[in-house]
């Protein structure tokens, strides 16, 4: 259930988020980056120790197989890939079958680790207090998105990565499974508030952040989901599916049949459900993929796909929810800007980013 107290902690303090839905693949060997360079959409070869990126694995037809974050872990001389835990084993097998003579070994290490998220404007301070003499607030705050640090603590080796996965800036920690509960207790003792799934979903949807398996699937082209700016390098060499992406971008001027967009409703409307149809007149033009009641905006919001002819902001549409038609307006994403602009973060009154 949504908690106003937890929501406020994410925007004014620090929240501890259970990230058990994430798994990790480990890539070792001298060719690990060049191997993935030919498979993934982003520039993996350019990664240096302590850096990372967001990327996708595509089919030859440019459809998504999965998305992932890729971290070249400092001090450990290996690469960690953060993936949906339910797809980790299949992805491990897929990558392993693509190895020929390269010096690469890929392992699914999801069972030996667990992921925790610490988000909010006081996330750096909280982590520094939880692990004193290991890392300081200034170092954490200076870390760019997707960068990582490997920390040796009395709870074991932790990997801390800069993250905005739930729509609020903070950090994800990849920790030993055996000491994960103790580490979580340390973070709570340092000031973090436990955040439940429903509250984290509110901030994710307010940020317009699509999730694979919910807002993206095996039929999605990355350009439809609007993830190209962070997932696709336009300067790297060839990768699987690149021909389709380049054709759409260059010959088609980026025009795809549908676009992920926001939908904003009257404050008293019902929250739509995943799969609800979006219509314009008698024409079905899209579908809802995620929805919630926005705490910042005081009204229901949704993200979903609409036909490109109706994707412009302020376009009036109708969403059919439970057999009832509800007026909605197409809205640019994000609905809410969860970036942290100062030491205390943005106030709840300054979060709205649309009219």
131-168 residue pLDDT tens: 999 999 999 999 999 999 999 999 999 999 999 999 99
Buried b (16+ CB within 10 A) or exposed e, 269-289: bbbbeeebbbbbeeeebbbbb
* CA distance to 53, 266, 297, per residue, from 276 (Å): 33, 17, 21
**Domain spanning 4-204 has what CATH number?**
3.30.1360.120
The residue assigned the tokens 């994710």 is 204
Domain boundaries along the sequence of the chain = 4-204, 257-355
Is there a contact between 14 and 119 (Cβ–Cβ < 8 Å)?
A: yes
200 burial via Cβ count (<10 Å: 0-12, 13-18, 19+): buried
The answer, as to whether pTM is greater than 0.85, is: yes
Q: Percent helix, strand, coil in the chain (nearest 5)?
A: 25, 35, 40
Q: In angstroms, how far is CA 242 from the centroid of its own chain?
A: 22
Q: How far apart are CA 228 and CA 242, in angstroms?
A: 12
**C-alpha gyration radius of the chain:** 21
**What is the tens place of the pLDDT at every residue in 162-186?**
999 999 999 999 999 999 999 999 9
CATH 3.40.50.2300 matches 257-355: no
In this predicted structure, what is the pLDDT of residue 338?
56
323-354 pLDDT, tens digit per residue, is 899 999 999 999 997 543 333 333 444 333 33
| Torsions phi, psi for 102 (to 5 deg) | -70, 150
């Amino acid at each position: 259930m949504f908690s106003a107290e937890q929501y406020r902690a994410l925007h004014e303090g620090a929240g501890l988020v259970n990230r058990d839905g994430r798994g990790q693949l480990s890539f070792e060997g001298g060719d690990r980056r060049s191997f993935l360079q030919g498979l993934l959409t982003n520039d993996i070869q350019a990664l240096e120790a302590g850096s990372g990126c967001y990327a996708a694995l595509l089919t030859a037809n440019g459809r998504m197989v999965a998305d992932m974050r890729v971290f070249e872990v400092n001090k450990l001389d290996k690469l960690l890939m953060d993936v949906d835990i339910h797809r980790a084993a299949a992805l491990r097998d897929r990558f392993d079958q693509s190895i020929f003579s390269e010096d690469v070994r890929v392992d699914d290490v999801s069972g030996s680790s667990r992921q925790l998220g610490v988000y909010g404007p006081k996330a750096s301070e909280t982590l520094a207090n939880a692990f004193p003499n290991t890392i300081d607030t200034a170092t954490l705050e200076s870390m760019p998105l997707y960068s990582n640090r490997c920390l040796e603590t009395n709870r074991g080796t932790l990997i801390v990565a800069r993250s905005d996965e739930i729509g609020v800036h903070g950090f994800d920690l990849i920790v030993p499974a055996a000491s994960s509960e103790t580490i979580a207790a340390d973070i709570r003792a340092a000031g973090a508030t436990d955040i439940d799934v429903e509250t984290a979903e509110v901030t994710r949807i307010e940020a317009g952040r699509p999730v694979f398996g919910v807002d993206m699937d095996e039929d999605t082209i990355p350009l439809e989901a609007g993830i190209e700016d962070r997932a696709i390098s336009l300067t790297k060499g060839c990768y699987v599916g690149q021909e389709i992406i380049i054709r759409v971008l260059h010959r088609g001027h980026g025009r795809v049949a549908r676009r992920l967009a926001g939908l904003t409703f009257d404050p008293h409307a019902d929250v739509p459900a995943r799969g609800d149809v979006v219509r314009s007149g008698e024409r079905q033009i899209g579908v809802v993929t995620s929805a919630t009641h926005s705490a910042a905006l005081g009204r229901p919001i949704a993200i979903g796909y609409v036909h490109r002819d109706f994707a412009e902001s302020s376009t009036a549409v109708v969403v059919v929810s439970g057999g009832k038609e509800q007026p909605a307006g197409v809205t640019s994403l994000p609905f809410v800007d969860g970036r942290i602009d100062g030491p205390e973060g943005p106030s709840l009154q300054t979060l709205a980013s649309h009219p």
